[in-house]
Amino acid sequence: MSRTVLITGATSGFGKACADLFYAKGDKVIVTGRRRDRLDEMIRDLDPARIHPICFDVRERDSVAAAISSLPAEFSAVDVLINNAGLALGLEMAHEAHLEDWDTMVDTNIKGLLYMTRRILPDMVTRNSGHIVNIGSVAGSFPYPGGNAYGATKAFVSQFTNNLKADLRGTAVRVTNIEPGLAETEFSKVRFKWDEGKADSVYTGTKPLTPMDIAEAIYWAVDRPPHVNINRIEIMPVCQSFGPFVFDRKG
């Protein structure tokens, strides 16, 4: 059965891999992001009856509403919303971090996800069908130095997903939080403001997750039978693990 799948942040990384996979499996996909050139490139040579681009910024509440309202009838009943658009900015300690970076992460990872969900969810409830997949992170569960505001936005995503599940009791609408660990995408380039040396060094000597590893987990969660809700999936590469508690020993 072909679904209509709307993916935020489909111009790169996990979002693009999801677009490739769901399209390849026969679903209709709505690809979104701010970089129009990438959206144009993605849809070139694909069937316009099965892929539809919309260019907007999830931080702009009115643009979100206008973008969804602009969907052609054939794409307007969204079966799956993948709230993937997001970013980390900086790795400074909290007392040295930039407030503008915190604002951008809150506006994108939290408020953008809320705007998308609030715009799409009523129609899913009316149709008593649909699936919201949020992209959280291991950073939402585990603290690390420099993860301050970014990790907190992902903790929000985790608890918002749980609370959606609570609100949606009695409907057939499903919700899932996907919580990846180290994965190589443009994530670190964005985090380090396109300092490619710094970004590359994050992955040096590791075998990180790939965008398709995450897309496949998302596809699996979405493709379960309608009575099955996957609440959360936490995924790390084998090379990633936990640190011990650390102590500041004096004297």
Give catalytic residue positions: 150
Bridging pattern class, strands 51-55 and 80-83: unpaired
Q: Which two tokens stand for residue 124?
A: 């899913």
CB atoms within 10 A of CB 65: 14
Is the CB of 194 or the CB of 220 nearer to ligand NDP? 194
Which part of the chain contacts ligand 8X3 (CB under 6 A), choosing from 7-15, 57-65, 135-143, 170-178?
135-143
Among residues 4 and 108, whose Cβ is nearest to ligand NDP? 108
Task: Check binding of 147 to ligand NDP (CB under 6 A).
Answer: no
The answer to whether 29 and 23 are in contact (CB under 8 A) is yes
For residue 4, what are the CA distances in angstroms to 78, 124, 173, 183, 226?
Answer: 5, 12, 14, 26, 15
CB of 14 to ligand NDP, least distance (A): 4
Count of residues for the chain?
251
* Residue 147 in contact with ligand 8X3, rule: CB under 6 A: yes
Distance CA 125, CA 171 (A): 7
List 18, 19, 58, 230, residue binding ligand NDP (CB under 6 A): 58
Stretch that binds ligand 8X3, among 16-24, 55-63, 136-144, 157-165 (CB under 6 A): 136-144
- CA dihedral defined by 22, 86, 228, 164, rounded to 10 degrees? -140
**Is residue 137 at the binding interface for ligand 8X3, with CB under 6 A as the rule?**
yes
Output helix, strand, coil percentages for the chain, rounded to the nearest 5: 45, 15, 40
d(CA 228, CA 220): 11
**Site residue total, ligand NDP (CB under 6 A):** 30
At 91, list the tokens: 């790795």
- In the bound state with ligand 8X3, the residue whose beta carbon lies nearer, of 114 and 235, is 235
Residue ranges in 151-210 that form contacts with ligand 8X3 under rule CB under 6 A: 181
- Stretch of 19-27, 29-37, 91-99, 169-177 lying at the interface with ligand NDP (CB under 6 A): 29-37
State the Cα–Cα distance between residues 219 and 153, nearest whole angstrom.
24
- Hey, what are 162's tokens? 């749980």
Indicate whether 149 belongs to the interface with ligand 8X3 (CB under 6 A): no
Rule CB under 6 A: choose which of 57, 103, 123, 223 binds ligand NDP: 57
User: What residue ranges bind ligand NDP (CB under 6 A)?
Assistant: 8-15, 33-35, 38, 57-59, 84-87, 108, 112, 135, 137, 180, 182-183, 185-187, 190
User: What residue ranges bind ligand 8X3 (CB under 6 A)?
Assistant: 137-139, 147, 181
